[in-house]
Chains A and B, each alone.
Chain A
Amino acid sequence: MARFFLLVAALLLCPAAAHAAAPAGDPIVVGGLFAQSGPAAVVGTPSKLVAEMTVKQINDMGGILGRPVKLVSYDTESSPDVALRQARQLVEGDKVLAIIGPTSTGEGLAVKKYTEEKHVPVIMTVGGDAVVAGGKFGPYDWTFKAPQRTATAVAKIYDYLKGKNITKIAVLSSKDAFGQDGATELKDNAAKYGIEIIAEETFDPKGTDFSAQAFKLQAAKPQAAVVWTIGPAGAIAAKNFAALPGERPLLVQCHGQPGPSYLELAGEAAGGTVMPGTKLMAPESLPDEDPQKIVIEAFIKAYKDNGIQEKFPLNTHSGYAYDALTLLRAGLEKAGKADPEALRAALEKLNRVVGVSGVYTMSSQDHNGLGQDSMIMLIVDSNRYKLAP
Chain B
Amino acid sequence: MTMPRNLSLGLFFAALAVVGLVTPGFQLLAVNQHLFLAVNVLALNFCLGLGGQISLAQAAFAGLGAYGSVLLHDRFPEATLVIVPAVVLGTGLLAAMLSRPMERLGEGFLAMATLCVSLVFTNLVLTLESVTGGSAGHMANARLALPLLGSLSGDRATFFCFAGLLALGSYIFLALRDSRLGRALAACRGDAQAASSLGVDRAAVRSLSFGLGGGLSAAAGVIHGHYTGFISPEQYHLELSLKALLFLVIGGPGNLLRPILAALVLETAMSWLSVLGDARTLVNGLLLGAALLVGYWRASR
A and B touching (Cβ–Cβ under 8 A): yes
> Residues of A at under 8 Å CB distance from B?
36-37, 45, 74-75, 77, 79-82, 84-85, 88-89, 91-93, 105-106, 109-110, 113-114, 128, 130, 136-138, 175-177, 179-181
Q: Which 7 A-B pairs have the closest CB atoms?
A: A92-B26, A88-B26, A75-B274, A113-B229, A110-B230, A177-B135, A177-B136
How far, in Å, is B274 (CB) from chain A's closest CB? 4
Known: A109-B137, A113-B139. A79 touches B235 (CB 8 A): yes
Q: What is the CA–CA distance of A37 and B239 in the complex, to the nearest angstrom?
A: 14
Q: Is the CB of A91 within 8 A of B280?
A: no
Chain A residue at minimal CB-CB distance from B74:
A136
Q: Is the CB of B129 within 8 A of A180?
A: yes
Residues in A neighbouring B134, C-beta threshold 8 A: 177, 180
Q: Is the CB of A80 within 8 A of B232?
A: yes
Partner among A45, A75, A84 whose Cβ is within 8 Å of the Cβ of B228: A84
> Residues of B at under 8 Å CB distance from A?
24-27, 29-30, 33, 126-127, 129, 133-137, 139, 141, 228-230, 232, 234-235, 271, 274, 277-278, 280-281
Scoring B24, B25, B134 by chain A CB atoms within 10 A of each residue's CB, the highest score goes to: B134
Tell me the interface secondary structure of chain A in the complex. helix
Given contacts A84-B29, A106-B232, A110-B228, 9 further A-B contacts (CB under 8 A): A45-B278, A75-B274, A88-B26, A93-B27, A105-B136, A109-B139, A109-B232, A113-B229, A175-B135
Q: What is the CA–CA distance of A81 and B24 in the complex, to the nearest angstrom?
A: 18
How far, in Å, is A127 (CB) from chain B's closest CB? 11
Residues in A neighbouring B235, C-beta threshold 8 A: 79-81
Q: What is the CA–CA distance of A130 and B133 in the complex, to the nearest angstrom?
A: 11
Partner among B29, B136, B137, B280 whose Cβ is within 8 Å of the Cβ of A88: B29
Residues in B neighbouring A80, C-beta threshold 8 A: 137, 228, 230, 232, 234-235
How far, in Å, is B228 (CB) from chain A's closest CB? 6
Residues in A neighbouring B277, C-beta threshold 8 A: 36
Residues in A neighbouring B232, C-beta threshold 8 A: 80, 106, 109-110, 177
Q: What is the CA–CA distance of A176 and B234 in the complex, to the nearest angstrom?
A: 10
Q: What is the CA–CA distance of A74 and B276 in the complex, to the nearest angstrom?
A: 11
Tell me the interface secondary structure of chain B in the complex. helix
A-B contact pairs, 26 of them (CB 8 A): A36-B278, A37-B274, A74-B274, A77-B274, A80-B137, A84-B228, A85-B33, A85-B271, A88-B25, A91-B26, A92-B24, A93-B27, A106-B135, A106-B230, A106-B232, A110-B229, A110-B230, A110-B232, A113-B229, A136-B133, A137-B139, A138-B139, A175-B135, A177-B134, A177-B135, A180-B135
Chain A residue at minimal CB-CB distance from B274:
A75
How far, in Å, is B73 (CB) from chain A's closest CB? 14
Partner among A81, A114, A175 whose Cβ is within 8 Å of the Cβ of B33: A81
Residues in B neighbouring A89, C-beta threshold 8 A: 26-27
Q: What is the CA–CA distance of A180 and B29 in the complex, to the nearest angstrom?
A: 30
Chain B residue at minimal CB-CB distance from A113:
B229
Residues in A neighbouring B133, C-beta threshold 8 A: 136
Q: What is the CA–CA distance of A57 and B30 in the complex, to the nearest angstrom?
A: 34
Known: A80-B234, A109-B230. A37 touches B280 (CB 8 A): yes
Residues in A neighbouring B271, C-beta threshold 8 A: 82, 85
Q: What is the CA–CA distance of A39 and B280 in the complex, to the nearest angstrom?
A: 14
Q: Is the CB of B280 within 8 A of A176?
A: no
Partner among B136, B141, B274 whose Cβ is within 8 Å of the Cβ of A180: B136
How far, in Å, is A89 (CB) from chain B's closest CB? 6
Chain A residue at minimal CB-CB distance from B24:
A92
Q: What is the CA–CA distance of A326 and B29 in the complex, to the nearest angstrom?
A: 32
Partner among A77, A88, A136 whose Cβ is within 8 Å of the Cβ of B139: A136
How far, in Å, is A203 (CB) from chain B's closest CB? 12
Scoring B129, B274, B280 by chain A CB atoms within 10 A of each residue's CB, the highest score goes to: B274
Residues in A neighbouring B24, C-beta threshold 8 A: 92
Residues in A neighbouring B136, C-beta threshold 8 A: 105-106, 109, 128, 130, 177, 180-181
Q: What is the CA–CA distance of A272 and B161 in the complex, to the nearest angstrom?
A: 58
Q: What is the CA–CA distance of A84 and B32 in the complex, to the nearest angstrom?
A: 12
Chain A residue at minimal CB-CB distance from B138:
A136
Q: Is the CB of A81 within 8 A of B129?
A: no
How far, in Å, is A275 (CB) from chain B's closest CB? 22
Q: Is the CB of B139 within 8 A of A36?
A: no
